[in-house]
């Protein structure tokens, strides 16, 4: 078990962790969530011993091996497969010693350990992991130094997974992955044999790969059962209950204070007034929840243009005379919301550069409206920002004719207060730099948003705000993202970039996920690749007359009836326990209780603690049933 007890850590006078306590059982998979800057990465470094806390302790079983995502990409002339195999230093040492050992007992011990480590399957396991992260057999044999930093970070992740530590600490493992590798990683982590503590802002990854959520907020750690969706629902209910309980307590305190103020100087009531004063001192105040700063932003409205906004016919794209995408014949209309699917390196960013006007076609016809304005976002643009300038200065350089207040109003759309608008870009967080890029790309009120991996450096709430802003945008959107949840929220059409082509994909994300995980009807990979679109074509449903439709609706309601009863009973259980707890709370607030038998006080306090525990379990049980009800109701509605 990983045991975190009363950890306190501060940086630059700011408290990140204050008496934080949590436990992770062996074999459990836990997602560590919280706003950017709350201290999640710091906690991982405290666990590994890279940092030392001011107080408290962290205990780990002495035989556990700990692995954490590397901040440095591997490099060198070794092949990718050899680089991954070298990550297991014990395996390398055992293989080397097996070649030179002469003592029979030592030879036996070496081969026993090699058998325990499944050395005979090492190459196959390393190749499987590299393949899942986007490296085919040919790529695995190439030298590591030939790859860019982002691809080499994937190799570092492959080495960590191959090493299979007892405690796997992952810090934003999808940052350098595409959608396809992210989906593979979800499946891999779900079957990981050890213990996982993972920092991530990817909702789908946290829903599919972990069984518990550890929430870091205001310096404290709170554990929740289930994935991220269940955590959100359970936390929402707790906060609502906290508001109700605080309101009751504040009302009770006001009554007591009024009594004291009225009678504290009256001889006949002075004793009672003093008793109530003591009770106020002993009363635990339910703290008001302090929500950490929320993020909200929006893209400006745009004027309409007649469709198509952009069209191409028989277009080839590439660099230095080498074709990357060929024979493209597509059009983009003002109401299109399109997500580009396909592994990194297949040409998604190349295609977006054509739409952005950053790349000229090698051949073919391209036409677009003369009034078309395009907003283009790419992560590399953050490197082009002037770190010594401020957001308002960066805006003014791009829009020298606009009034300063107009530019400040636009920055305000993306969460920049007057203070943050005057802060040097070099002092902004990664999320703030991303929001600055959103502001810069949209200041001209574009008709099309081209978003190439816009969610990197954004926390969960910022990603949700981005999805809402995209959905409220009045123009067209083309998005590339490794976050399937953001894609599902914002896109209603998919284009698959694969094999040098860009073609419509008629399935949804569930179809694409199944295809990537090899569940597309038992086909081989070649067959699946060759017929990806046909596999995902939705079959037109036969028409159903109204009588059949009513009958089917009745059958669906009957099928959902038992679950509905369970949901009602769960709600009643929560209400019943709440009432019992509040009753005891009122008794504990009675000053006369403390003047008599202290045993009664202790007994009531124990009952209160037990009811609090029962209430937590009841809320979580209700949340699980509610989630099941929502899912089945959605499926019934879809059918």
Domain with 606 in it: what CATH number?
Answer: 1.10.287
Average pLDDT, integer, range 90-100: 84
| Confidence category of residue 622, pLDDT binned at 50, 70, 90 | confident
- Portion of the chain with pLDDT greater than 70, in percent: 81
Q: How many CB atoms neighbour CB 7 within 10 A?
A: 25
488 and 341 belong to one structural domain:
yes
Residue 373 lies in a domain: yes
Domain span at residue 155?
29-35+59-214
94 and 209 belong to one structural domain:
yes
| Confidence category of residue 494, pLDDT binned at 50, 70, 90 | very high
Predicted confidence at residue 581, as pLDDT, reads 81
Q: How many CB atoms neighbour CB 541 within 10 A?
A: 7
363 and 480 belong to one structural domain:
yes
Q: Is the pLDDT of residue 418 over 90?
A: no
561 and 495 belong to one structural domain:
no
Strands, sheet with 448-452, edge to edge from the N-terminal-most edge strand: 374-378, 448-452, 476-480, 337-341, 493-498, 501-505
Q: Is the pLDDT of residue 586 over 80?
A: no
Q: How many CB atoms neighbour CB 187 within 10 A?
A: 15
Residue 519 lies in a domain: no
Q: How many CB atoms neighbour CB 410 within 10 A?
A: 20
Radius of gyration over every alpha carbon of the chain, rounded to an integer in angstroms? 30
CATH of the domain at 122: 3.40.50.300
Average pLDDT, integer, range 19-39: 88
- pLDDT tens by residue, 216-267: 988 889 898 888 888 888 877 776 666 666 666 666 666 666 666 666 555 5
Average pLDDT, integer, range 109-115: 86
CA–CA dist 355, 357 (Å, integer): 6
393 and 492 belong to one structural domain:
yes
Predicted confidence at residue 247, as pLDDT, reads 67
The b-or-e profile of 360-389 (16+ CB within 10 A means b, else e) is ebbeeeeebeeebbbbbbbbebbeebeeee
328 and 462 belong to one structural domain:
yes
Residue 4 lies in a domain: no
Query: CB of 200 within 8 A of CB of 206?
Result: yes
The mean-pLDDT minimum among 39-43, 307-311, 312-316, 587-591 falls in 587-591
The mean-pLDDT minimum among 340-344, 422-426, 549-553, 603-607 falls in 549-553
Residue 382 lies in a domain: yes
Q: How many CB atoms neighbour CB 485 within 10 A?
A: 23
Predicted confidence at residue 340, as pLDDT, reads 92
171 and 90 belong to one structural domain:
yes
Residue 43 lies in a domain: no
- pLDDT tens by residue, 601-610: 777 778 877 8
**Interior angle at CA 481, CA 175 and CA 384, nearest 5:** 70
90 and 208 belong to one structural domain:
yes
Q: Is the pLDDT of residue 272 over 70?
A: no
- The H-assigned helical ranges of 36-79 are 40-48
CA–CA dist 259, 38 (Å, integer): 42
Q: At what angle do helices 122-132 and 179-190 cross, to 10 degrees?
A: 130
Which residues, at least 6 apart from 488, have a Cβ–Cβ distance to it below 8 Å? 508, 509
Residue 525 lies in a domain: no
Which residues, at least 6 apart from 117, have a Cβ–Cβ distance to it below 8 Å? 88, 90, 91, 94
Query: CB of 348 within 8 A of CB of 340?
Result: yes
Q: Which of 452, 486, 505 corresponds to the end of one domain?
A: 505
Predicted confidence at residue 339, as pLDDT, reads 92
365 and 490 belong to one structural domain:
yes
Q: Which of 214, 229, 249 corresponds to the end of one domain?
A: 214
The b-or-e profile of 495-512 (16+ CB within 10 A means b, else e) is bbbbebebbebbbebebb
| Confidence category of residue 520, pLDDT binned at 50, 70, 90 | very low
498 and 352 belong to one structural domain:
yes
Q: Which of 214, 243, 274 corresponds to the end of one domain?
A: 214
| Confidence category of residue 594, pLDDT binned at 50, 70, 90 | low
Distance from the Cα of residue 135 to its chain's centroid: 24
Predicted confidence at residue 565, as pLDDT, reads 76
Phi/psi of residue 205, nearest 5 degrees: -60, -40
- Portion of the chain with pLDDT greater than 90, in percent: 14
Residue 351 lies in a domain: yes
- pLDDT tens by residue, 48-88: 888 888 888 899 988 888 999 887 888 888 889 889 888 88
Residue 24 lies in a domain: no
Distance from the Cα of residue 17 to its chain's centroid: 21
The winner for highest mean pLDDT among 234-243, 263-272, 376-385, 625-634 is 376-385
> How many domains does one find in the chain?
3
Joined tokens for residue 367: 């036409």
325 and 390 belong to one structural domain:
yes
559 and 615 belong to one structural domain:
yes
Joined tokens for residue 552: 């089917």
């Amino acid at each position: 078990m990983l045991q975190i007890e009363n950890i306190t850590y501060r940086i630059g006078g700011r408290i990140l962790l204050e008496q934080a306590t949590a436990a992770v059982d062996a074999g459990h998979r836990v997602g560590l969530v919280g706003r950017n800057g709350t201290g999640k990465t710091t906690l991982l470094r405290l666990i590994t011993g890279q940092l030392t806390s001011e107080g408290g302790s962290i205990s780990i079983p002495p035989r556990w091996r700990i692995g954490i995502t590397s901040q440095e990409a591997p490099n060198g002339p070794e092949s990718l497969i050899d680089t991954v195999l070298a990550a297991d230093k014990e395996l390398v040492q055992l293989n080397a010693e097996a070649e030179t050992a002469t003592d029979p007992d030592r030879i036996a011990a070496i081969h026993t350990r090699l058998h325990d480590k499944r050395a005979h399957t090492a190459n196959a396991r390393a190749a499987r992991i590299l393949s899942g992260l986007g490296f085919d057999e040919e790529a695995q044999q190439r030298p590591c130094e030939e790859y860019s930093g982002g691809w080499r970070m994937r190799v570092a992740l492959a080495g960590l997974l191959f090493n299979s530590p007892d405690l796997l600490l992952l810090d934003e493992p999808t940052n350098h992955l595409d959608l396809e590798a992210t989906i593979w990683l979800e499946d891999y982590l779900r079957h990981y044999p050890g213990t996982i503590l993972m920092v991530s802002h990817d909702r789908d990854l946290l829903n599919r790969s972990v069984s518990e959520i550890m929430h870091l907020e205001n310096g404290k750690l709170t554990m929740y059962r289930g994935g991220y969706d269940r955590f959100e629902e359970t936390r929402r209910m707790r906060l609502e209950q906290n508001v109700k309980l605080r309101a009751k307590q504040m009302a009770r305190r006001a009554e007591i204070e009024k009594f004291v103020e009225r009678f504290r100087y009256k001889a006949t009531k002075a004793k009672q007034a003093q008793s109530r004063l003591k009770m106020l001192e002993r009363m635990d105040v339910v703290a008001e929840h302090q929500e950490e700063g929320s993020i909200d932003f929006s893209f400006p409205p745009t004027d309409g243009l007649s469709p198509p906004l952009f069209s191409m016919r028989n277009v080839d794209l590439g660099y230095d005379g080498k074709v990357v995408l060929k024979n493209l014949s597509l059009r983009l209309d003002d109401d299109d919301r399109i997500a580009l699917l396909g592994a990194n390196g297949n040409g998604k960013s190349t295609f977006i550069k054509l739409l952005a006007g950053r790349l000229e076609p090698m051949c073919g016809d391209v036409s677009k409206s003369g009034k078309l304005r395009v907003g283009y976002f790419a992560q590399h643009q953050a490197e082009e920002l002037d770190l010594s300038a401020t957001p308002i200065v960066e805006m003014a350089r791009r829009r020298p004719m606009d009034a300063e207040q107009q530019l400040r109003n636009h920055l305000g759309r993306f969460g920049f207060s007057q203070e943050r608008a005057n802060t040097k870009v070099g002092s902004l967080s990664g999320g703030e730099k991303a929001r600055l890029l959103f502001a810069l790309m949209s200041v001209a009120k574009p008709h099309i948003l081209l978003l190439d991996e816009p969610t990197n450096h954004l926390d969960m709430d910022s990603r949700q705000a981005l999805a809402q802003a995209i959905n409220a945008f009045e123009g067209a959107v083309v998005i590339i993202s490794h976050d399937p949840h953001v894609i599902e929220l914002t896109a209603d059409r998919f284009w698959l970039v694969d094999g040098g082509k860009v073609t419509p994909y008629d399935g949804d994300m569930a179809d694409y996920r199944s295809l990537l995980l090899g569940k597309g009807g038992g086909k081989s990979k070649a067959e699946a690749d060759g017929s990806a679109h046909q596999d995902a074509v939705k079959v037109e449903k036969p028409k159903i007359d109204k009588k059949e439709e009513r009958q089917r609706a009745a059958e669906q309601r009957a099928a959902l009836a038992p679950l509905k009863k369970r949901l009602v009973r769960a709600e009643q259980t929560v209400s019943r326990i709440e009432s019992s707890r509040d009753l005891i709370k009122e008794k504990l607030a009675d000053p006369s209780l403390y003047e008599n038998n202290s045993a009664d006080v202790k007994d009531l306090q124990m009952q209160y603690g037990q009811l609090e525990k029962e209430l937590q379990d009841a809320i979580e049980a209700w949340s699980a049933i509610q989630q099941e009800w929502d899912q089945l109701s959605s499926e019934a509605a879809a059918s």
